[in-house]
Amino acid sequence: MMDYTPEIVQVVPHEDYTVTVYFCDGKIVTYDAKPKLDQGVFQTLKAMAFFINNCKIMNDTLAWDLTGNNDPSECIDIDPDYLYALDYAEEPVAV
């Protein structure tokens, strides 16, 4: 585990079940949720509208709000140290 993980400042979900994660130090990573979609609570994310619309920052990390009430105990969240350890990604460019 790292001593310090920079703050996540933005998350942008995409229709291929990936999320671009932006950190305050300028690092950008891509989280790929596809390998988890058949596992337990992650099955909820298979519905594309849910994946896109409920993706946000909760508990200081990438998360999906399960209830729509912004309850930090009712979300799927990804360890921020895990996210920061991902390889740098190119910033997506709109076409």
- In the chain the domains, ranked by start, together with CATH numbers, are 8-85 (3.30.2020)
Q: Is the pLDDT of residue 93 over 80?
A: no
pLDDT of residue 4: 82
C-beta separation of 2 from 65 below 8 A: no
For 17-52, write each residue's pLDDT tens digit.
999 999 999 999 999 999 999 999 999 999 999 999
Q: Is the pLDDT of residue 1 over 60?
A: no
pLDDT of residue 95: 59
Q: Is the pLDDT of residue 10 over 60?
A: yes
